[in-house]
Structure 1
Amino acid sequence: MPTTLPLVPLVMLNLLGLAGIIVWHLQGRGRPNARLVVQIIFFAAMTATLLAAQVAPFRFEGIHEGAFARFLVDCGKVLWWTHLAWAVIGFTRIYIVLDKRPREARLIQDLLVAVVYLGTTLSMMAFVFGVPIGTLLATSGVVAIILGLALQNTLSDVFSGIALTIGRPYVLGDWILLADGTEGRVVASNWRATCILTSANNLIVLPNSVLAKLGLTNFSRPTETHQIKLPIRIAATRPPGVSMEVLRLALDNCKVISKEVPPTVALKDMDAMGIDVELLFYVSSPGERVAACNEVIDVIYRHCAENGVSLAMPAGSYVFGPQSSNGCPLTPTMLSPRELLQAVPVLAALPPNERKAIISQATTRQFPLGATIVAENETFSSLMIIQSGVVCRRRNGKDIERLYPGETLGARGLLSDTPESGSFEALTEVSISVIAKEALDNVIGSHPEFAEDLASRLSRAISDEQSAADAPPPQTGKAPVLWAMPNG
């Protein structure tokens, strides 16, 4: 280094460093590209100024020309090393963005930033202030060992977090199941722990070291479509093929389960008392499992009762009660039309005597396979309930939904003159109970709560029709669809 230092380049070096810091902060965190450009420009200008002043930032040399010159050189070097660190960090962050790394790469980014700042600090101490780094590193090694023993669990969490970030068994938003039974959606992940929000709306905080040791099932990979296995046992009173067809038809009529993958009925085992069956179906997300199982159980029960399929007791159970000649419980008879109508929710608002009076006036109509029950845009004014079979609702040749036994149909013609949107066709042989408009006129006038219930169901039906106009067939539960039977 020359014995005489030019003061003007040194002053310019410090002014450039301070101006670079001010402009860097004015750019804000939301403009990383602009920040990087500012860092590069000011760093290049400071490097040129250092060369003009003949000051080497990578070498420590004593200066004997006065405290002011020494102060300018030291401040200039500190500013130069600071801008160098910021430029390197800026390049690292830009690389992560351009490489389309996930948000979890923030952990690796923080680690690299820490390494850059540590290296810059040691370089400043060695090349600016002349501190013997070798002795410092030897001393810090002993301190690091002591700290490592004291922070063993914390360091284990940190390195486990790095391993989980690199391996990426999950990302934020994934639904996971751990080997210890913990299940929920990943909502946060940091250096020390991972936060999981359970279906009970509880937040579980797991240390990364514990999470790294547990087996993990990711329900969100490759998609959130999730399979459910529901075991049931049916009595061996009917041929297995007949029972399978009843169960398969029941699964096809469920609305909450996903139709992207067809549901399956698998026969697992059988003995003289019953047949073990496993129902396999899918839901669009793990959060719909409870609703799907509830609906499947309800629909299975209705179809089994309507088609004379009896559910059997578990193997090894003792049954006390009437039995058939082969030792099996007696097969329950199919629900009668009167029993089915008694269970219709839309009639629950009526007093028992009036409900029985209306049910006694119901007539039954039969429709063969493929018959058109109601044509598209047809207006009618009777209330009806499906007793058996499956009805498909179509619009413009597309299946909108399927209706199964026990569904309440009607009310549109009772409360308005709006024609039906779509046609209704029988997918199987269908039996329908029809309640004429005249039988309901007096009830609607004397029981406003009954009319309000019908109006509410009609409103939900119209809303569902509007939302289904531009959407694919729904995969989640909806309110019961209401329609009516043509006069005559």
Structure 2
Amino acid sequence: MRDRPVPQLPLALILSFLAVSGLLLLEDLFARPFTFLTGISFEAVRRGEMALLLGLAALLAARFVRRDLIHGLLERRAGKALPHLIGDVASLFVLVVGAAIIMTGVYGWDIGAVVAAGGLSLAIVGLALKDVILAVFNGAALNVENAFMVGDRVKIGEVDGTVVQSTWRSTTILTKARRLVTIPNIALGTASITNFDRPDKSEQRVIEICLDYDVTAESAERILLAGVIGAAGISLVDAPRVHAIRLDRDGVVYAIRYVIANHDLGLSSDHAVIKSILAHLRDAGIGVSYPKQEVVTAERRIRVADRTVDRRVLVQQCELFRGLPPDVQARIAEALIEQKVQAGAALIAAGAVRSSLFIVGEGLMKRLRARPDRPGFVEERYVATQAFGRRAFLSDLPHPAPIGAVTQSLVFELTRAAFAGILAAHPEIKVPLATNLARSPTLDITHATEVSALEARAERPVAFYLSLLDAIASSEANAR
């Protein structure tokens, strides 16, 4: 509710009311001397005093209704400012009632005759002030219909902003450019009014992005959904959606729709979502489509959007296998088993014995790990090219925490048995593998939300991982 000045007592009106009351009580002090000096009848003077007293009482009552009742008590109970029009109409009604009481009670006039006699005059005045009268009625109708309140964000015609004032004549809006725009109420009768705060402040945002035709629709949907859900600092009301909306000259245009809790954070939410989507596209080696007529001389990254066709690129970009000979990377790629995980589905249950390493191809996976310092859990997230399940893969131990999909995901599984065969055939890769593992002790919890969980992971020396790799190779030799 906007701040209002503290109401001040109308001292002039109160003193005038008390003075006239005293004159009525002490008729010898004013009425009779005034009659003697002016020759006006005593009854006429007394009627004038009574009319003046009732007029002052009507002014005091109108002020009380407008400032203390409408814009005081009712505003405090409502918790927000009420339009000025309500107070103006209420005070006008009190004044009209006061005038009617004076005419009938003091002077004995017939109100019906007065209205009939003044009908022609009212018609002339009405024609002259038709726009003002129409504006008043439009303002009253808006308040009765409760189309908007002071403080609501609205769009009236082409004007978009926050309502700061609503009077009997006009409505004032503060635009996003910090400009005050005054709209006459007469224009509101035919204008379309959009209230962004009703029924709540949630808002659907839409971002369009164009991707090349060689990116499959399934891959685009997984990557873009992962980008929206992985955006930091936004509050989603509903699950985001991705649709291919048209085929453009340069590629397929996708519409990303998501609903945020507060429309005031629309631009910052778009920024966070676009930033996250670009990061996921970059991890997948995908760029936004560009006009094909242009000549681009920059080196282009290898695409890994469709990893069902080219898994070798995924292995090359996985940090665990980076730097291995190309023929070894090719054998690892051939050994990968594709796993499609639906959003919300579990891939591995806590305590499950599954001695495999998993690499995220597309989408967003998560794991809930118990906190090392106090009761509770830490959510770890994995995006494209990141691997998880290293503990079970290297040590043949049960998985300590459940792993599931946040969005529809494409995951590739490398079993311990398949890797043991590759390791036995290429023992020279043990040292670079152990080096990669030692350099990345937190490889599979890059997206942990708690720093304390990362700090709890102690780095292991290369010799530690060499011993684990030797054990895997030995198990293959024993199996033979």
Query: Normalization by structure 1: what TM-score?
Result: 0.51
1:212 aligns with one of 179, 182, 189: 189
Q: How many Å separate the matches in 2 of 1:481 and 1:135?
A: 87
Number of the residue aligned with 1:128: 106
Whether the 8 Å CA contact 2:59–2:95 is kept in 1: the answer is yes
Whether the 8 Å CA contact 1:371–1:426 is kept in 2: the answer is yes
Q: Give the alignment of 1:199-348 within 5 angstroms.
A: 199-270=176-247, 274-313=251-290, 318-321=292-295, 332-333=302-303
Please give the per-residue CA displacement for 1:423-456, whole angstroms capped at 9, x wherever unaligned.
99987889xx99979xxxxxxxxxxxxxxxxxxx
What is the aligned length? Answer: 326
Question: C-alpha displacement at 1:108, in angstroms?
Answer: 3.8
2:91 aligns with one of 89, 96, 113: 113
TM-aligned CA distance change 1:230 to 1:113, over 3 Å? same
Whether the 8 Å CA contact 2:237–2:260 is kept in 1: the answer is no
Whether the 8 Å CA contact 2:104–2:111 is kept in 1: the answer is yes
Whether the 8 Å CA contact 1:175–1:183 is kept in 2: the answer is yes
Number of the residue aligned with 2:14: none
**Which amino acid in structure 2 is aligned with residue 281 of structure 1?**
Y
Whether the 8 Å CA contact 2:62–2:95 is kept in 1: the answer is no
Q: How many Å separate the matches in 2 of 1:83 and 1:176?
A: 40
**Which amino acid in structure 2 is aligned with residue 302 of structure 1?**
A
Q: How many Å separate the matches in 2 of 1:269 and 1:481?
A: 46
**Which amino acid in structure 2 is aligned with residue 149 of structure 1?**
L
Is the partner of 1:206 in helix, strand or coil? strand
Q: Confirm or deny that 1:487 pairs with 2:465.
A: no
Whether the 8 Å CA contact 2:139–2:167 is kept in 1: the answer is yes
Question: C-alpha displacement at 1:482, in angstroms?
Answer: 11
Question: C-alpha displacement at 1:228, in angstroms?
Answer: 0.4
5+ unaligned residues in a row in structure 2: which ranges?
1-5, 10-20, 22-39, 305-312, 320-346, 351-362, 386-399, 406-410, 413-435, 441-448, 461-480
Number of the residue aligned with 1:171: 149
Number of the residue aligned with 1:147: 125
Q: How many Å separate the matches in 2 of 1:222 and 1:140?
A: 46
Question: C-alpha displacement at 1:280, in angstroms?
Answer: 0.7
Q: How many Å separate the matches in 2 of 1:177 and 1:336?
A: 49
Please give the per-residue CA displacement for 1:319-346, whole angstroms capped at 9, x wherever unaligned.
24479xxxxx9775469999999xxxxx
Question: C-alpha displacement at 1:89, in angstroms?
Answer: 9.4
Which shifted more, 86-95 or 304-313? 86-95
Whether the 8 Å CA contact 2:207–2:255 is kept in 1: the answer is yes
Q: Give the alignment of 1:49-68 within 5 angstroms.
A: none
Q: How many Å separate the matches in 2 of 1:403 and 1:177?
A: 41
Q: Give the alignment of 1:346-365 within 5 angstroms.
A: none
Whether the 8 Å CA contact 2:210–2:250 is kept in 1: the answer is no
TM-aligned CA distance change 1:401 to 1:164, over 3 Å? farther
Q: How many Å separate the matches in 2 of 1:184 and 1:332?
A: 46
**Which amino acid in structure 1 is aligned with residue 106 of structure 2?**
V
Please give the per-residue CA displacement for 1:147-183, whole angstroms capped at 9, x wherever unaligned.
3333333333222111111111111221112332x21
Is the partner of 1:213 in helix, strand or coil? coil
Question: C-alpha displacement at 1:146, in angstroms?
Answer: 3.8
Q: How many Å separate the matches in 2 of 1:147 and 1:337?
A: 86
TM-aligned CA distance change 1:302 to 1:400, over 3 Å? same
Q: Give the alignment of 1:411-426 within 5 angstroms.
A: none
Number of the residue aligned with 2:162: 185
Is the partner of 2:189 in helix, strand or coil? helix
Is the partner of 1:214 in helix, strand or coil? coil
Query: Normalization by structure 2: what TM-score?
Result: 0.52
Is the partner of 2:220 in helix, strand or coil? helix
**Which amino acid in structure 2 is aligned with residue 152 of structure 1?**
K
Alignment identity in percent?
22
Please give the per-residue CA displacement for 1:66-97, whole angstroms capped at 9, x wherever unaligned.
95576556645764686689779979997997
Whether the 8 Å CA contact 1:391–1:403 is kept in 2: the answer is yes
Q: Give the alignment of 1:433-444 within 5 angstroms.
A: none
Q: How many Å separate the matches in 1 of 2:185 and 2:295?
A: 56
Question: C-alpha displacement at 1:212, in angstroms?
Answer: 3.1
Q: How many Å separate the matches in 2 of 1:401 and 1:78?
A: 79
Please give the per-residue CA displacement for 1:10-64, whole angstroms capped at 9, x wherever unaligned.
xxxxxxxxxxxxxxxxxx9699xxxxxxxxxxxxxx9xxxxxxxxxxxxxxxxxx
Q: How many Å separate the matches in 1 of 2:263 and 2:228?
A: 18
Please give the per-residue CA displacement for 1:83-121, whole angstroms capped at 9, x wherever unaligned.
689779979997997897785476345324313322321
Question: C-alpha displacement at 1:123, in angstroms?
Answer: 3.4
Number of the residue aligned with 2:30: none
5+ unaligned residues in a row in structure 1: which ranges?
1-27, 32-45, 47-65, 324-328, 342-368, 373-387, 407-422, 438-463, 466-479
Whether the 8 Å CA contact 1:391–1:404 is kept in 2: the answer is no
Whether the 8 Å CA contact 1:85–1:117 is kept in 2: the answer is yes
**Which amino acid in structure 2 is aligned with residue 486 of structure 1?**
A
Question: C-alpha displacement at 1:220, in angstroms?
Answer: 0.9
Whether the 8 Å CA contact 2:226–2:364 is kept in 1: the answer is no
Whether the 8 Å CA contact 1:234–1:312 is kept in 2: the answer is yes
Whether the 8 Å CA contact 1:104–1:171 is kept in 2: the answer is yes
Question: C-alpha displacement at 1:393, in angstroms?
Answer: 8.1
Number of the residue aligned with 2:469: none
Whether the 8 Å CA contact 1:310–1:332 is kept in 2: the answer is no
Q: How many Å separate the matches in 2 of 1:113 and 1:285?
A: 37
